[in-house]
Structure 1
Amino acid sequence: MTDLVTVAVWNIEADGGRNGEHRDLALDVLREFEPDIFLQQEAKFSRDRGSERLHATEKRLGLRGFLSAPNPYADADIATAVYLRPSLFDVVEARPRAKPWWLHPCHVVARLGSCPVPLNLISFHMCCFDANQRLMEASWLAMHAQPGMVTLAAGDTNSYPRNPERLVLPTWDTVTDRAHMVHRTYLDADGHRRSDTRPDAALTDAGYLDLARYAADHLNQPEALNATAGQQKPDQGGPQRIDRLYGAGGLASALHSVEVVDNDETREATDHSLLILRFYLVRLERTLTPHLAAAHTAETLR
């Protein structure tokens, strides 16, 4: 729909496979939603052979793609990616980011049409094995929620929401994958294992809004809080909402909907659900145009 801007966020396991065995299916699924922005995690092979896989994705989806900075450590060179519709967005800057990340985020700054305020788009994949590393990564993301910045940061947090939700957090004493238990918890001051909710706390304290939570609380969309991973991993505590979408700078005011796509096709393509966000184009333009945003706020407060 031309009056909506559609964003897809998806962790595609191993970039669809070393030989691309699941890649075509993933792209077929994505094409059905016609995303204007696609934030991908685990773009593991998209740098290979002259970025062949990235360019194939650009062609299939009609988008322009960018990859995160290369990682000199071969065992952790798993890229993230941002794709944009060039008829909607002009790229101001594609910023290579490395420290303090274990897996480098992809950060693209773009302008929507003639809107004066740029939109920060960050595709991230937090560390899977170290809670303290994740907290440091969340603190880096917090820099992009400063006043005057409009940011959409989304990806795999490998951690949990701070506030209680319908999905109960794992009972770690009963989780049989003990390595996973260590990876997804931290030791408190008394030496007890706690579910790692600290990245979410850091981001929301910094001013980000969890857009799925916003959709559930303010747009009557409780299904926005559905699980995004773990559906087929009972040994790791079962389904959880670890893939999350954070907006800053008034982005939530433009939100139309959040959809968690979990079906046979998405499960065949990868081990994470596909997240689809839709924003009202007019409201997004207003958010990225300061005097219009201020007038809208004043009207709302009357």
Structure 2
Amino acid sequence: MTPAEKDVVTVAVWNVEHNGHDRNGTDERRHRAYDVLAGHRPDLVFRQELTHAHLDGSRALYEEANRLGLWPFMAPGTPESPNPTGVLLSTELFRVDALYTHSTGGWHPICNPLVRLKDPDGRPSGTALSLASVHLCCYDPETRAREAKRLVTLGAPGRTALFGGDMNSYPHRTHEESVPLPDWSDPALSDAAHFEHRTVEREGQRVADTVPDQILAGGRQVFIEAGHYAATRLGQPSALEPTANLWRKDQGRRSRIDRLYFSPALAPALLSLEVVADDDVAEVSDHALLIARFDRTAMHRALTPALDI
């Protein structure tokens, strides 16, 4: 690895549909997913739908971790959903201080390791960084809002966070998005359940649910949404490309429901946000892969504030 590569922290966010398990019992997609991720050499991965990864001594979880050269953490599944969230990270870059799991009554508990970023000399940052893999509720807007409120606690005063996942809802700055919100009157959007799951009532009308993004990155902006920041501040409009649904034809146009968020202190460190939806990704999952890159030195500096003299 070159010195320049050592000074970049590469972050991946990916919902691998049912962890690559097909109904015919094969897991070929899962192994292709490992290859796709490994090709991007991530230092940190926020994974959703680690379906059945806890079975047989969490064999599939460690299989993925070994393929990527990372250390894994996974929240538990629930009686309603065997699709937990997980975080895989480089122990060369991060020192792990603690591991938390947050349950908000939704389907997927939040996997939340607390870490310190090491500088190139191995010195851990002065303050901790809260990492989280998120998969908001697919069917209930009220639960999604509650889950978003829970995530806000990771950005309370004195805390710094970086988290990503499948938000199952839409960006709230609709006028700045390159992809319009779903057109619920479109005959092609024939999935009636999808309409019920993804809309809220506002002023007597059913509209796309943008509430979680408003909670997280609106108002006083507890967090910054990486795609919006990369597009509007870094001149990377492709960061606003859609992330789902790569397979379904009955849910209307593709939308940007997979997102990455971070505390404002980390903004100077973001270098890029890429939405990867090529053929290799689409063969594996119905969700695009997000790849974000951060300047390691700037990130470490943000997590190691200078002492007041």
- Which residue matches 1:277? 292
Letter in 2 for 1:169: L
2-structure distance, mates of 1:148, 1:50: 37
1-structure distance, mates of 2:195, 2:244: 15
The 8 Å contact of residues 121 and 153 in structure 1, kept in 2 or not, is answered as yes
Work out whether 1:200 is the aligned partner of 2:200: no
Work out whether 1:61 is the aligned partner of 2:68: yes
- Which residue matches 2:178? 166
- Which residue matches 1:288? 303
**What is the Cα-based RMSD across aligned positions, in Å?**
1.6
1-structure distance, mates of 2:106, 2:95: 27
Work out whether 1:17 is the aligned partner of 2:21: yes
Q: Deviation above 3 Å: which 4+ runs of structure 1?
A: none
Give the TM-score, by structure 1 length: 0.93
Within 5 A, what are the aligned runs for 1:1-302?
A: 1-17=5-21, 19-71=26-78, 73=79, 75-113=80-118, 114-164=124-174, 165-174=177-186, 175-190=189-204, 192-204=205-217, 205=219, 206-291=221-306
2-structure distance, mates of 1:198, 1:255: 25
In terms of fraction of residues, the more helix-rich structure is 1
Offset at 1:186? 1.2
1-structure distance, mates of 2:44, 2:12: 6
2-structure distance, mates of 1:129, 1:70: 17
Q: Structure 1's 81 and 180: CA in aligned 2 closer, same or farther, altered over 3 A? A: same
Secondary structure of the residue that 2:250 maps to in structure 1? Answer: helix
Offset at 1:232? 3.3
Offset at 1:188? 2.5
2-structure distance, mates of 1:109, 1:182: 36
1-structure distance, mates of 2:105, 2:21: 27
2-structure distance, mates of 1:88, 1:119: 12
5+ residue gaps, structure 2: 119-123
Letter in 2 for 1:199: P
Secondary structure of the residue that 1:59 maps to in structure 2? Answer: helix
Q: Percent identity?
A: 40
The 8 Å contact of residues 69 and 98 in structure 1, kept in 2 or not, is answered as no
Offset at 1:157? 0.5
2-structure distance, mates of 1:100, 1:283: 37
Secondary structure of the residue that 2:291 maps to in structure 1? Answer: strand
Secondary structure of the residue that 2:42 maps to in structure 1? Answer: coil
5+ residue gaps, structure 1: 296-302
Offset at 1:26? 0.5
Between the two proteins, the alignment pairs up a number of residues equal to: 291
Offset at 1:3? 1.3
Offset at 1:249? 4.3
The 8 Å contact of residues 100 and 140 in structure 1, kept in 2 or not, is answered as no
Secondary structure of the residue that 1:7 maps to in structure 2? Answer: strand
Give the TM-score, by structure 2 length: 0.91
Deviations 1:140-163 (A, max 9, x none): 111111122110111001100001
Offset at 1:189? 4.8
